[in-house]
């Protein structure tokens, strides 16, 4: 096995796609696909707030919101995860308003927080693919390429999970991750 093959195999062990409920992940941090107020909403955001309990909302109220493409850190409260990294993804407007760059920034800013905090494991949802309407077929390659590129260029948490709620999302992310690892 060459050095490149060994590095690729090591990344494939550290970056994985799983199906399931992100709120049940036993990781250092889960990433919340939040709205800009950080005060809860529907989809993943609502599920995380419900599972974490009222302490998460109280802590989020102190943060003053978050712009699209950026991330903020809170404690995990009642979650199995010690922390929540809230990131605000782009609303899809046909891809003509920089949505792809903003989505990439969501993953990068969340990874930057994880690295700064010394977190060893992070779980991501499929950011912006629900109510924000980002096409999942486009979002999965952006997510996986961004995480793989980050891992190749910088320190990465020991484990990064893409936690997908639907079987279609699992398939899209698994295919995209395989392509990103080979690229």
Q: Is 101 a catalytic residue?
A: no
Query: In this predicted structure, what is the pLDDT of residue 12?
Result: 85
What pLDDT tens digit does each residue of the chain (183 aa) get?
Answer: 676 777 778 888 899 999 999 999 999 999 999 999 999 999 999 999 999 999 999 999 999 999 999 999 999 999 999 999 999 999 999 999 999 999 999 999 999 999 999 999 999 999 999 999 999 999 999 999 999 999 988 866 789 999 999 999 999 999 999 999 998
Q: How far apart (Å, rounded) are the C-alpha atoms in residues 115 and 130?
A: 27
Q: How far apart (Å, rounded) are the C-alpha atoms in residues 114 and 122?
A: 7
What is the pTM assigned to this prediction? 0.95
User: CA angle, corner 20, sides to 136 and 10, nearest 5?
Assistant: 80
Q: Which of 21, 28, 45, 101 is catalytic?
A: 45
**What domains lie within the chain, and their CATH numbers?**
15-182 (3.40.220.10)
């Amino acid at each position: 096995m060459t050095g490149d093959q060994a590095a690729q195999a090591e990344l494939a062990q550290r970056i994985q796609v799983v199906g399931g409920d992100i709120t049940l992940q036993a990781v250092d941090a889960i990433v919340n696909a939040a709205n800009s107020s950080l005060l809860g909403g529907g989809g993943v955001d609502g599920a995380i707030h419900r599972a974490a309990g009222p302490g998460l909302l109280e802590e989020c109220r102190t943060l003053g919101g978050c712009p699209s493409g950026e991330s903020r850190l809170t404690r995990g409260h009642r979650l199995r995860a010690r922390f929540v990294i809230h990131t605000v993804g782009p609303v899809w407007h046909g891809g003509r308003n920089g949505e792809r760059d903003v989505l990439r920034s969501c993953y990068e800013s969340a990874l930057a927080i994880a690295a700064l905090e010394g977190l060893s494991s992070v779980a991501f949802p499929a950011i912006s693919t629900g109510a924000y309407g980002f096409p999942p077929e486009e979002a999965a390659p952006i997510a996986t390429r961004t995480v793989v590129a980050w891992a190749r260029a910088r320190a990465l948490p020991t484990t990064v999970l893409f936690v997908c709620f639907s079987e279609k999302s699992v398939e899209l992310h698994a295919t995209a991750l395989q392509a990103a690892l080979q690229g």
